[in-house]
Every structure is written in structure tokens, then in C-alpha cells.
């Protein structure tokens, strides 16, 4: 991965372009061929200018007897031939680089996506989908632009600059030096913008763009809430701040840092005649062959039109190179994220019992552990409920069973085997989980349920939907289980989505089920149906459930109360009530909340107070 320095023996890091081309695989050579053809195309592009100079030379030599210039027609055809050859060669160059760039972008997306599949599931909780999409899709797109367009343009621009330098000194080195002065000013300005603070800005720019993508995704998802409560974008402070940061940074860079050098370099390039004309006026009186000098001046005056084109290509290529370097760094950062460790010799569980043994776990950057020396057992076929105050570690504990994260200390075992010693695919087959908030794909209802077991038949899907109390959902859909869900199809309520998610878990038929507040957002009618579905799902299985509504855990075989990452108490519902501890206080609060209601008198008083406030 690195080249060897012959003199020092130290490894030098490979260039960003070389690392990008690794993704192109067997098409890597097409990039080099495309760059070479682009360089040839630019050199062929000089042909028409030389032909124009030959025409001007012959006309000036025979003036005013223009008819004596017999070679003009031939020069014209040669100019057309050079132009067509340049276009055709450039077309072939782009064909080669595009084939390589498409393969590179495709392989980059595949590599990042495949690596994501090997990461712990908890990684996706810490990294928003907008941010990951920016890395996987946005970064691949930017590198595609670099390899398909900018890289051959850089090659062509370098060939153009080299050829331009040669042409500057072929006819009259003094006039060429005048043109070269303008190019030097332009390069100095570009270096000022593209190096140092310019590179720092590009890293900040790409970071701001990633943040804006991530927060923008969250904002779009929250638009219904914004509309319901008549809020503005300011209610989404993170999204608003990301936009302000991005726009302010771009304005500061363009207005403060780039304004002066950009104006100077554009003036130097587009006003190249300002450098050329004074030199020509000073040299003209001393020229013995004025006709030849005039022809040379005409050539440089015409050829100067190509200079801004060459420098513009270098400028855009430099910008694309900076963006691609940052994109490559982000892709490498994702690819270098440690994947989920897999045991060299996986062990197979014997049974469905789950046990936590002195488990400790802390999230990255957290001040205190989410779980601190937690131990409990869930015998096969039993139901254990995790309850406790918010932030107590309930969801964290449940997520350690299917290895969303790996423990920092202690062990989580399934069937007597540490989950870290199991094959991840086998572990996933053993565990089904239902989250608080579930998402359905833009597919048919059958395909959404079949995601749990792709080889399931329609009859098995219908049976799972029926067990999950989804018969009413199937009945109301126009094409039944073949109805498309999402954009352009049917939409389901939150409670209905939750029941479909339970159908997935039932179809999977895993012996261990993890339920993370499965009834959190359900209305009373859906909650009753979900409870029936949960009863069906839990039958004969090992169940770990998290619940804030304590009425749902009364029948659990064992209840573990977590508080600040530690086990505060454990036992059955009656045992914990008799103990008079944290659970008993939580139960008393729950009963008070369940029996609370707004009386007609209180509602009338509240309405009167609101009217008085409005009149005031």
C-alpha cells in the first residue's frame, strides 16, 4: 500500500488518486489510457492555431496581392482535420475514464455497504442515516466526477500548459515571455486559493455539507410535527444552525479569502493582451523583418485565447481534487471502523436461556457507564421484564443480547455460550427483536413481513399476519398482502406498523424475542391488539421485554429494575410490591397516572382562564 523510498528506506504514503484507482480494479489501466488520450487531444488542439498563424504569415508576406497566397485553402483543411482529430481523441479519452470511474464508484459503494453489514448494529444508532448516505453515495459521486472528467482534464491541461510553454518560445521568445508573465500571476493566485487555508476550508466545507445532509434528513422526517404545531425551521435548531454555518463559511471564504486572488487571476488571464501589447510596441521599431514580427504578434494575440481555458481546467481540477481527497478520507474512515469481531471457531448454543454475568458497558464519550456490573438470568421459555427510570440502561441491556454492541466487561450468554463466541448469523437466527419505532420498506405488505424469512410462502405470511392481529389491515388494503406500502401506495398508522413488525417477528420464529417498548406509541385499540399478538409471540419462547407501562409486565416471570445502570431490585410483581422499593413507588405513580382524568369543572375553569388571557 505504500511505495519504498530507495534512499531512506521509509514508506511514503500513496497519493489519493492511486488509492481511489484501487477501487477501479481491472479497469484501472483505462484511466491512464484516457489521461494519455486527453493529453494528445489537447496537443492536437494546437494545430488550428498553427494553421491560423501560417495563413496570417502568408497573407502578410504577399500583401496586398492576396491571391498570391495559394496555400491558404490547404491550411484551412488542415485546421479542420486537427480540430476533428482533437474532438474524436477527447471523446475516446472520456469513454475510457468514464468506464473506470463508474467501476470505481460502484466498487466504492459496494465496499462501504458491505462493510456496514459487518458493523455492530449499534453503529447505526450513533450515525444518522443522512450522514451515512452522504459518505456512501455523495463521496462516491464526487470521486466519480474527479476520475471521469477532472483527471483527464488535468492531464490535458498539463499537456496544454507544456505545449503552450513550447509555443510561447517557438516563434518569438520575447512575446512568449510576456504571455508567460500572465500565466505566472494566475498560478500564484490559484496556489493562494488552493493551498494552506484553502485546504482547511475544503475539509470544513465537506464536514458542514455532511452535517447539513444529516440534520436535513431529520428535519424532513419531522415535517408533520412542524405542520401540526405551526412551527418554523427555527424549531429544528440543529438544521437551522447547519445551514447558517454552511452559508456563512462559504460567504466568508468567497468574499474574504478568494475575492482578491480570484479577481487578480481572472484579470491576468482575460487581459493577457495588457502584458503582450506593451512588449510588442517596444519591440516593433527595432525589428528588421516587420512582416514576420507582425505575423508572430498575430499568433500570440490569437493563441492567448487558449490560456484562460487551460488555467480554468487546472482550477476546477484542483477544486475537485480537494473534494475527492476529503471524500476519500471519509470513505476510509468508514472502512476503517472496526467490524463486529467473529470468533475463529464459533460455538453453538445449547438451549435458549439468556444470562448476564457481571456486565459493564459504556458508550463512547460517555461520562459514566450505561451498565455497571449487571447480572441476571432468563431461563429458557420464561419472560423477563426490564423496568426502571429513563436512562437506567434498559434498552442498552436488551441491545447487548443480539450484539448491537459488545460488552466492556463480563459476558452475555445465550444457551450457555458467550454471544461473542457465536457466529453472528446464527445469533441473528436465534433472536427476534421489535423496537419502539419500526420502519416499513416501500414494498408490498407481504414483502415487508417476508423480510424476516425471504423463503416464506404467502400462506405463511398470512398466518403470521393473523397471529399478529393484522386481519383488519389485510382486509382494508385494496390488493391485500400484495398492496404496495409507502409513497404511491397505502399508508399505515403507527399502531398498525407495530403489528406488522410483530408479524415479522412471528414469521421469523426465533426462540428468543427482545421487545423494546412495543406498545409505546399505540392507541388503546391497537394496544389491545398488540398485547394479544405479544401473547402469541411469547408462547414457548424466551422473552426479554422493556416496558414503561407497568401493566404490561405484571405477568412476567421475573422483573428486573434497573436504575443508573445497576440492578436496583428483582423479583415477581407481588414480591417487588411487598418489598416497598423503587418498583413499588413506580407502581404507585403508574396507578395514579392511570386513574387521572380531567373533570368537567376543571375543564370549564381552564377554558375560562384561556378566554380571559385572550381578552387581555
Least confident of 274-288, 298-312, 417-431, 568-582: 298-312
Backbone angles phi, psi at 31, to 5 degrees: -65, -45
- H-run or E-run covering 243: helix 237-252
185 is written with which cell numbers? Answer: 500571476
Least confident of 46-60, 323-337, 431-445: 323-337
Q: How far is Cα 450 from Cα 432, in angstroms, rounded to an integer?
A: 14
Burial class (CB in 10 A: 0-12, 13-18, 19+), 499: buried
pLDDT bin (cut points 50, 70, 90) of residue 409 is very high
146 closest CA partner among 262, 397, 364, 318: 318
What is the DSSP secondary structure assignment for residue 89, as one 8-state letter? Answer: H
pLDDT attached to residue 203:
67
334 closest CA partner among 530, 131, 73: 131
Q: Is 506 a residue whose pLDDT tops 70?
A: yes
Burial class (CB in 10 A: 0-12, 13-18, 19+), 385: buried
Tell the residue number behind the cell numbers 409486565, with chain if given.
553
Q: Is 232 a residue whose pLDDT tops 60?
A: no
461 is written with which cell numbers? Answer: 405470511
Q: Is 309 a residue whose pLDDT tops 80?
A: no
Q: What sign results for the dihedral spanned by CA atoms 160, 162, 168, 171?
A: negative
pLDDT attached to residue 1:
43
Percent of the chain with pLDDT over 90: 13
pLDDT attached to residue 418:
92
Q: Is 17 a residue whose pLDDT tops 80?
A: no
DSSP string, 351-419: SS-EEEEEEEE--TT-SS-SEEEEEEEE-TT-EEEEE-STTSSHHHHHHHTTTSS--SEEEEEETTEEG
Q: How far is Cα 130 from Cα 218, in angstroms, rounded to an integer?
A: 8
Q: How far is Cα 39 from Cα 162, in angstroms, rounded to an integer?
A: 10
**Maximum Cα interatomic distance, the chain, rounded to a whole number of Å:** 121
- Average pLDDT for 555-577: 90
**Contact criterion met (CB below 8 Å) for 370 and 530:** no
Chain-wide mean pLDDT for the chain? 78
What is the DSSP secondary structure assignment for residue 437, as one 8-state letter? Answer: S
Q: How far is Cα 481 from Cα 492, in angstroms, rounded to an integer?
A: 13
What is the DSSP secondary structure assignment for residue 386, as one 8-state letter? Answer: E
**Contact criterion met (CB below 8 Å) for 196 and 322:** no
Backbone region of residue 563 per phi and psi (left: phi > 0; alpha: psi in -120 to 50; beta: other values): beta
Would you call 371 helix, strand, or coil by DSSP?
A: strand
pLDDT in tens, 312-358: 776 666 666 666 666 777 777 777 777 778 888 889 988 889 999 99
Least confident of 107-116, 307-316, 403-412: 307-316
**In this predicted model, which residue has the larger pLDDT, 251 or 353?**
353
pLDDT attached to residue 41:
92
HSE-up of residue 212 (Cα within 13 Å, Cβ side): 16
pLDDT bin (cut points 50, 70, 90) of residue 567 is very high
Q: What sign results for the dihedral spanned by CA atoms 474, 478, 483, 484?
A: negative
DSSP string, 533-583: HHHHHHTTSEEEEE-SSGGGGTT-SEEEEEETTEEEEEE-HHHHHHHTSHH
Distance of CA 15 to the CA centre of its chain: 23
Question: Strand pairing partners for 444?
Answer: 484
Backbone angles phi, psi at 570, to 5 degrees: -155, 155
Give the pairing of strands 512-516 and 431-434: parallel
The CA–CA distances, whole Å, from 241 to 216, 227, 230 equal 11, 20, 20
HSE-up of residue 249 (Cα within 13 Å, Cβ side): 19
HSE-up of residue 117 (Cα within 13 Å, Cβ side): 7
547 is written with which cell numbers? Answer: 416496558
pLDDT attached to residue 374:
92
What is the DSSP secondary structure assignment for residue 312, as one 8-state letter? Answer: H
**In this predicted model, which residue has the larger pLDDT, 51 or 228?**
51
DSSP string, 1-21: -EEEPTTT-PEEEPPHHHHHH
pLDDT attached to residue 354:
93
pLDDT bin (cut points 50, 70, 90) of residue 525 is low
What is the DSSP secondary structure assignment for residue 419, as one 8-state letter? Answer: G
The interaxial angle of helices 259-270 and 306-335, nearest 10 deg, is 140
Q: Which domains does the chain have, with CATH numbers?
A: 15-335 (1.20.1560.10), 354-588 (3.40.50.300)
- Average pLDDT for 380-409: 88
- Average pLDDT for 118-135: 68
Q: How far is Cα 116 from Cα 110, in angstroms, rounded to an integer?
A: 10
The CA–CA distances, whole Å, from 41 to 37, 147, 368 equal 6, 17, 63
- Average pLDDT for 294-301: 76
**Contact criterion met (CB below 8 Å) for 336 and 166:** no
Tell the residue number behind the cell numbers 404507585, with chain if given.
588
Q: What sign results for the dihedral spanned by CA atoms 67, 71, 72, 74?
A: positive
- Average pLDDT for 48-59: 81
**Contact criterion met (CB below 8 Å) for 549 and 587:** no
pLDDT attached to residue 65:
77
**In this predicted model, which residue has the larger pLDDT, 198 or 258?**
258
Cis upstream peptide for 139 (omega within 30°):
no
531 is written with which cell numbers? Answer: 398485547
Q: Is 602 a residue whose pLDDT tops 70?
A: no
pLDDT bin (cut points 50, 70, 90) of residue 3 is very low
Q: How far is Cα 576 from Cα 583, in angstroms, rounded to an integer?
A: 6
**Contact criterion met (CB below 8 Å) for 445 and 481:** yes
Q: Is 81 a residue whose pLDDT tops 90?
A: yes
Amino acid at each position: 500500500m505504500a511505495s519504498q523510498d530507495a534512499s531512506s528506506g521509509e514508506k511514503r504514503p500513496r497519493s489519493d488518486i492511486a488509492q481511489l484507482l484501487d477501487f477501479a480494479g481491472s479497469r484501472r489501466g483505462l484511466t491512464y489510457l484516457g489521461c494519455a488520450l486527453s493529453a494528445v487531444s489537447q496537443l492536437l488542439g494546437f494545430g488550428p492555431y498553427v494553421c491560423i498563424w501560417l495563413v496570417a504569415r502568408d497573407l502578410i508576406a504577399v500583401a496586398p496581392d492576396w491571391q498570391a497566397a495559394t496555400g491558404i485553402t490547404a491550411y484551412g483543411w488542415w485546421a479542420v482535420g486537427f480540430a476533428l482529430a482533437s474532438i474524436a481523441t477527447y471523446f475516446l479519452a472520456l469513454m475510457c475514464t468514464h468506464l473506470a470511474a463508474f467501476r470505481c464508484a460502484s466498487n466504492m459503494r459496494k465496499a462501504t455497504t458491505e462493510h456496514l453489514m459487518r458493523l455492530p448494529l449499534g453503529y447505526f444508532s450513533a450515525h444518522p442515516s443522512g450522514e451515512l448516505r452522504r459518505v456512501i453515495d455523495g463521496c462516491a459521486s464526487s470521486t466519480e466526477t474527479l476520475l471521469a472528467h477532472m483527471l483527464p482534464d488535468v492531464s490535458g491541461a498539463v499537456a496544454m500548459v507544456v505545449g503552450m510553454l513550447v509555443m510561447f518560445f517557438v516563434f518569438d521568445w520575447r512575446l512568449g515571455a510576456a504571455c508567460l508573465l500572465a500565466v505566472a500571476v494566475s498560478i500564484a493566485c490559484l496556489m493562494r486559493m488552493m493551498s494552506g487555508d484553502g485546504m482547511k476550508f475544503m475539509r470544513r466545507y465537506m464536514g458542514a455539507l455532511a452535517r447539513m445532509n444529516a440534520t436535513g434528513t431529520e428535519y424532513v422526517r419531522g415535517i408533520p410535527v412542524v405542520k401540526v404545531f405551526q412551527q418554523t425551521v427555527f424549531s429544528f435548531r440543529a438544521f437551522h444552525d447547519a445551514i447558517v454555518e454552511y452559508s456563512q463559511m462559504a460567504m466568508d471564504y468567497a468574499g474574504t479569502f478568494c475575492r482578491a486572488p480570484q479577481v487578480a487571476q481572472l484579470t491576468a488571464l482575460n487581459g493577457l493582451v495588457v502584458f503582450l501589447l506593451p512588449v510588442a510596441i517596444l519591440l516593433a521599431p527595432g525589428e528588421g523583418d516587420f512582416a514576420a514580427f507582425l505575423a508572430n504578434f498575430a499568433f500570440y494575440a490569437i493563441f492567448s485565447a487558449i490560456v484562460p481555458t487551460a488555467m480554468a481546467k487546472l482550477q476546477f481540477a484542483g477544486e475537485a481534487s480537494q473534494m475527492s481527497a476529503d471524500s476519500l478520507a471519509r470513505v476510509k474512515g468508514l472502512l476503517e471502523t472496526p467490524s463486529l469481531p467473529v470468533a475463529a471457531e464459533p460455538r453453538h448454543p445449547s438451549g435458549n436461556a439468556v444470562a448476564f454475568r457481571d456486565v459493564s458497558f459504556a458508550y463512547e464519550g460517555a461520562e459514566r457507564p450505561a451498565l455497571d456490573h449487571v447480572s441476571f438470568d432468563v431461563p429458557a421459555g420464561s419472560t423477563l421484564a426490564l423496568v426502571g427510570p429513563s436512562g437506567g440502561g434498559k434498552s442498552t441491556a436488551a441491545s447487548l443480547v443480539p450484539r448491537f454492541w459488545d460488552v466492556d466487561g463480563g459476558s452475555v450468554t445465550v444457551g450457555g455460550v458467550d454471544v461473542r463466541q457465536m457466529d453472528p448469523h446464527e445469533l441473528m437466527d436465534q433472536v427476534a427483536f421489535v423496537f419502539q419505532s419500526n420502519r416499513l420498506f416501500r414494498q408490498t405488505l407481504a414483502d415487508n413481513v417476508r423480510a424476516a424469512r425471504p423463503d416464506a410462502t404467502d400462506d405463511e405470511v398470512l398466518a403470521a399476519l393473523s397471529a399478529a392481529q393484522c386481519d383488519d389491515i389485510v382486509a382494508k388494503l385494496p390488493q391485500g398482502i400484495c398492496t404496495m406500502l409507502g409513497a404511491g401506495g397505502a399508508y399505515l398508522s403507527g399502531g398498525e406498523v407495530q403489528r406488522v413488525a410483530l408479524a415479522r417477528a412471528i414469521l421469523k420464529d426465533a426462540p428468543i424475542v427482545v421487545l423494546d417498548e412495543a406498545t409505546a406509541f399505540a392507541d388503546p385499540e391497537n394496544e389491545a391488539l398488540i398485547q394479544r399478538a405479544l401473547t402469541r409471540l411469547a408462547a414457548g419462547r424466551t422473552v426479554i421485554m422493556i416496558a414503561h407501562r407497568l401493566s404490561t409486565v405484571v405477568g412476567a416471570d421475573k422483573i428486573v429494575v434497573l436504575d443508573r445502570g445497576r440492578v436496583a431490585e428483582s423479583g415477581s410483581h407481588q414480591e417487588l410490591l411487598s418489598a416497598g422499593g423503587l418498583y413499588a413507588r413506580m407502581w404507585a405513580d403508574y396507578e395514579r397516572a392511570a386513574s387521572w382524568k380531567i373533570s368537567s369543572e376543571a375543564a370549564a375553569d381552564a377554558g375560562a382562564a384561556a378566554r380571559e388571557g385572550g381578552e387581555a
